[in-house]
Structure 1
Amino acid sequence: MINAQSKIFKDVSTALATIRRWQEEGDTIVFTNGCFDILHLGHVDYLEKARHLGNKLVLGLNTDASISRLKGSERPLQDEMSRARVMASLLFVDMVILFAEDTPYELIAVVKPDILVKGDDYAIENIVGHDIVQKNGGTVQTIALVKGYSTTNIVEKIKQQI
């Protein structure tokens, strides 16, 4: 029986054993990343589409410290283990790896996914890690986002109603 907690890794070296096993078994590894501070329809749609590009979806999740540096001291709204547990509970997310850097570049270099995915608000040449994935023979793709859904928009809407 798989539980959400078993899909969460704080240590990339432990996660790598599972990823390498998947690769040896012929699975296509898809990688994406983000903060996922408030899970919303846009996230669910995006992650579901990402998972359909391969056999396993590995999600790099920014730690609390990383989010605070990127988005300011009022973020994240939820702590990293809460966010990780929510993300790992999604049936189309196979693994969640926490990373403390501002970008997932180092994580991508170690994971070496077959497919790197971000939303279509990014140009492929601006996606962190595109060079690593392409150098290793992988592909970089964008996925159309559901318009009107973002954590920032949700936070602003809540603030307006207070």
Structure 2
Amino acid sequence: MGQILNWDDLKTVIDKLKANGKKIVFTNGCFDIIHIGHIRYLREAKKLGDILIVGLNSDSSVSKIKPGRPINTERHRAEILSSLEMVDYVTIFNEDTPYELIKHLMPDVLVKGGDWKIEDIVGSDIVTEVYSLPYVEGISTTEIINKIISSEKNL
């Protein structure tokens, strides 16, 4: 089971892991309602290195980019993510983007979903190995929320 750490504690851990030759993979997102697209994506991300770190948007960060969200609190989202077998560490960031977090941690690999072009991935200018993984079409948190709302209207 993964751990939820603050930035500085995580940096200390990463430095030790790197000193022992471990390859650090970083991804980030809201992960508001975990679905199969997230699971497949995180599994693929983990395959790109030894340690997978998830930078999680805080509640205030999510609400700035997705009005009316999040559905689940940052603490709940962090706990769910940290319980996934492929996730080693979770840390929360308050900023609109994870740029400062990426700069602080300096992972070896940076990963986002296929809806992002590599040149548009935040941090691609400071991390040398960057991937845009395949996106699972038709599966998103927004689509799940809309389906629930639609189902409620039909009751």
Structure 1: how far apart are the matches of 2:17 and 2:139? 33
Structure 1: how far apart are the matches of 2:119 and 2:134? 17
Residues 98-143 of structure 1: CA deviation (Å, up to 9, x unaligned)? 000010000000111111001111111100110011xxxx211111
Which range moved further: 102-111 or 144-153? Answer: 144-153
Report the AA paired with residue 71 of structure 1: K
Provide the residue aligned with 1:22 in structure 2.
17
Which residue of 123, 131, 141 corresponds with 2:131?
A: 141
The root-mean-square deviation of aligned C-alpha atoms, in Å, is 0.9
Structure 2: how far apart are the matches of 1:68 and 1:141? 26
Please tell me whether residue 75 in structure 1 is matched to residue 90 in structure 2.
Answer: no
TM-score by length of 1: 0.91
Which residue of 26, 35, 48 corresponds with 1:31?
A: 26
Structure 2: how far apart are the matches of 1:113 and 1:16? 10
State how 1:1-162 maps to structure 2 within 5 Å.
Answer: 3-4=1-2, 7-9=3-5, 11-72=6-67, 74-133=68-127, 138-162=128-152
Structure 1: how far apart are the matches of 2:106 and 2:97? 15
Structure 2: how far apart are the matches of 1:121 and 1:145? 6
Structure 2 unmatched ranges of 5 or more: none
Report the AA paired with residue 106 of structure 1: E
Q: Displacement, 1:14?
A: 1.1
Structure 2: how far apart are the matches of 1:145 and 1:30? 18
Q: Displacement, 1:96?
A: 0.2
**Aligned with 1:130: secondary structure?**
coil
Structure 1: how far apart are the matches of 2:14 and 2:54? 12
Q: How many residues align?
A: 152
Q: Which consecutive segments of 4 or more residues in structure 1 shift more than 3 A?
A: none
Residues 33-64 of structure 1: CA deviation (Å, up to 9, x unaligned)? 00000000000000000000000001000000
Structure 2: how far apart are the matches of 1:54 and 1:15? 17
**Aligned with 1:30: secondary structure?**
strand
Structure 2: how far apart are the matches of 1:121 and 1:95? 24
**Aligned with 1:67: secondary structure?**
helix
